[in-house]
Amino acid sequence: MSAKTPVVRIEPLSPLLIEPAVRQALLEDLGRAGDITTEATVAADATAHAVLAARENGRIAGLDFVSTAFRLLDPKIRMTVRAPDGCDVEGGETVALVDGPARSILTAERVALNFLGHLSGVATATANLVALVAGAKAHVVCTRKTTPGLRTFEKYAVRCGGGRNHRFGLDDAILIKDNHVAHAGGVRAAIERARAAAGHTVEIEVEVDSLEQLDQALELGADLVLLDNFSVDELARAVRRTAGRAVLEASGGITATTAAAIAATGVDLLSVGWLTHSAPALDVALDFER
């Protein structure tokens, strides 16, 4: 049986990024004395066949973390993927098959599921939002509001969900927020200083909270404008006023209820912090067959 085709096809993350995180998580769980339950109750030579399955509908992300957890713990574990990252699954659907030494599978199980559940949760929340804005041109993008230490992985999960990534860090682009404007002494001064400092390859984005500020940002040649907590009406007016001169990003108050209307205004980006900091984990489990 061949693997399912993903809804979105995502480039895998480098093992150089994945391995240290999985190693740390395994050590966090093993502690100083290891899996004392499994060692006490399961024979060293016992083997197991287990099915990694979804318990609810969702979008899968993070299987390379699962296979890395199993491999780091025991290279003899074999995993066959049925629903790769970027696939939609239904509750009960098989995601992967896992075969090998029973002890090792039991010991690595929780760490593997913790990664998969968390990242699939982010991907699922993203996919759901992306579906709600399907007709519009807008992209759903994530922010820097990520779980400490997991940013690269959560951004990957957003991509698995069909979303796009905004800045990966403070050095990734210039985003002038209200506090920068205040300290610079106005939008004009802020953009001019940023332009002078930034060089040719860095995009400049400005956060505005009124149409007047938008006009000023456009006039000064901002590449992107973040429209902070604009109403749907204001967003629509901002789109008309901008007329393609800059990329427009709507931010604030974007929920499942409001997303379609916001996207329908014609903005380019819907930026959503809760995709990465508040998405509930997807329920995935490892069922052992006996």
Identified binder of a second copy from the candidate list 1, 137, 201, 244, rule CB under 8 A: 201
φ, ψ of residue 281 to 5 degrees: the values are -65, 145
Our finding on whether 221 is near a second copy (CB under 8 A) is: no
Distances (CA, A) of 25 to 18, 65, 109, 115, 286: 11, 11, 12, 9, 18
Q: What does the alpha-carbon distance between residue 275 and residue 121 come to, in Å, rounded to a whole number?
A: 9
Task: Pull the structure tokens for residue 178.
Answer: 């209200």
Pairing of strands 94-101, 164-165: unpaired
Our finding on whether 85 is near a second copy (CB under 8 A) is: no
Tell me the closest approach of the beta carbon of residue 280 to a second copy, in angstroms. Answer: 4
Closer residue to a second copy (CB): 175 or 214: 175
Identified binder of a second copy from the candidate list 1, 2, 11, 135, rule CB under 8 A: 11
Q: What does the alpha-carbon distance between residue 13 and residue 152 come to, in Å, rounded to a whole number?
A: 9
Closer residue to a second copy (CB): 16 or 243: 16
Number of residues that bind a second copy (CB under 8 A): 101
Interface stretch with a second copy, choices 84-92, 167-175, 250-258, 259-267 (CB under 8 A): 167-175
Our finding on whether 269 is near a second copy (CB under 8 A) is: yes
Interface stretch with a second copy, choices 22-30, 83-91, 209-217, 256-264 (CB under 8 A): 22-30
Q: Binding to a second copy (CB under 8 A): which residues in 108-137? A: 110-111, 113-115, 117-118, 121
Tell me the closest approach of the beta carbon of residue 82 to a second copy, in angstroms. Answer: 19
Active site residues: 110, 145, 177, 207, 228
Residue with the two structure tokens 């780091």:
72
Our finding on whether 194 is near a second copy (CB under 8 A) is: yes
Identified binder of a second copy from the candidate list 169, 233, 243, 257, rule CB under 8 A: 169
Identified binder of a second copy from the candidate list 135, 137, 199, 243, rule CB under 8 A: 199
Q: What does the alpha-carbon distance between residue 103 and residue 274 come to, in Å, rounded to a whole number?
A: 37
Q: Enumerate residues 6+ apart whose C-beta is below 8 A from 206.
A: 175, 176, 181, 187, 190, 191, 213, 217, 222, 224, 225, 226
Q: What does the alpha-carbon distance between residue 5 and residue 23 come to, in Å, rounded to a whole number?
A: 29
Our finding on whether 182 is near a second copy (CB under 8 A) is: yes
Pairing of strands 47-54, 284-289: antiparallel
